[in-house]
Structure 1
């Protein structure tokens, strides 16, 4: 089970990795960084990517079962006449974890992959990988980030 530094080291070992960070998307703070930053400042990059992550996790267009989801009345409500909760997070399983798995932003020179991490507290953390478009492998990066997100220990 890797901690923050070990996780960032493993991310940077991916082919084409230019930079990486572990970010709290509610505050926009980088919990750890490695490599380069797209704009030269890891803290600014963390704040900017946190805004994107927050939008994806909270807006119903991207995460219909997200934290702000409200019950939606369905014509075939429950036997007691209560509205169905089919559109809420509770109906999607255990009700834990981030509502979005990952985000990919493509630029002319690279990819930004944001992988949400399920935590024991409030699941407001994501991994950010800046991947070179010519030398990186997007599919491999997504799989590896998924594995690391599942094993990451935040203490």
Structure 2
């Protein structure tokens, strides 16, 4: 089992990583962040993406879908943003957030690594 700091470092070790965060989507607060830039404020991005998660959960509920979100991908012209709700013990209401440079990242491998990081994370 890995703690949050180790998990954030592992997220930043993924090829193309720009920034990583663990976010509480109930409050919009980032519990931990690593990376980012003057153009990517991870506190703001984490808070804003809580609305994305909440909207998707409401939509799934309205549709009667009894499934879980594996991840949400936002594709920008130069970046990928991956939101992965944490399903393990103690992770209810939290998500991993990873921003990637689209030119340097392998999206399939990033999703694979993010899944493995989530599996090891202990909150």
With structure 1 as the length reference, what TM-score do the two structures score?
A: 0.72
1:145 alignment partner, one of 95, 104, 114: 114
Q: Any residues of structure 2 matched to 1:83-94 within 5 Å, and which?
A: 89=66
Give the 4+ runs in structure 1 shifted more than 3 A.
37-40, 61-65
With structure 2 as the length reference, what TM-score do the two structures score?
A: 0.89
Higher RCO (Cα < 8 Å, 6 or more apart) = 2
Which one has a bigger Cα radius of gyration? 1
CA offsets per residue over residues 102-147 of structure 1, 9 Å max, x none?
Answer: 0000000010001111143461111000000000010001011111
Q: Equivalents in 1 of 2:42, 2:50: separation in Å?
A: 12
Q: Equivalents in 2 of 1:117, 1:129: separation in Å?
A: 13
Could you tell me which residue of structure 2 aligns to residue 5 of structure 1?
A: 5
Q: Specify which structure has the higher proportion of helix.
A: 2
Q: Equivalents in 1 of 2:57, 2:28: separation in Å?
A: 14
Which consecutive unaligned segments of at least 5 residues does structure 2 have?
none
Q: Equivalents in 1 of 2:62, 2:107: separation in Å?
A: 21
Superposition RMSD on alpha carbons, in Å? 2.1
How many residue pairs match? The answer is 123
Could you tell me which residue of structure 1 aligns to residue 51 of structure 2?
A: 51
Which consecutive unaligned segments of at least 5 residues does structure 1 have?
66-88, 93-98
